[in-house]
Amino acid sequence: MPNCNKFNLLSTAALSVCAIALTVAPANALPGQNINTVLNWAKTRPQLSALKYNSETHGYGGRNGNLYFFVNTTSQNGTVTKEGITVSNDPSIKFTTDNAKGVKLLQNIYNSEIANDFRNSRSLTLPTHKCGGF
């Protein structure tokens, strides 16, 4: 019987860890998240500047050097509906699946999982302006 108790204890511990991991999911600044979560996440990203609300665009944006990051929301305190990154004056960074600098920038801002998802995507819809975007 002692082995059954050990198994039950291990099972309970494993389920507890899974439950904690699911409830403490990290913010990734993705559409669908609450803007307050995204604003707090952006503060932890050294590549991004503080995001400020713009009532004309119904979103938040900030520039750090030649990198501009923005998120659009349903309202000032609402849900993120769209986001984007623009890099100006650096033709070596393109947001294409085969541009290592662009993918590396996404990895540095988000994480390797999101960068790999981007790199492995089959279809991309990108802005048509010349300074790049995501």
What are the pLDDT digits (tens) for 18-72? 333 333 445 666 788 999 999 999 999 999 999 999 988 889 999 999 999 999 9
For 71, counting Cβ atoms within 10 Å of its Cβ (0-12 exposed, 13-18 middle, 19+ buried), the class is buried
pLDDT greater at residue 127 or residue 103: 103
Three-state DSSP class for residue 83: strand
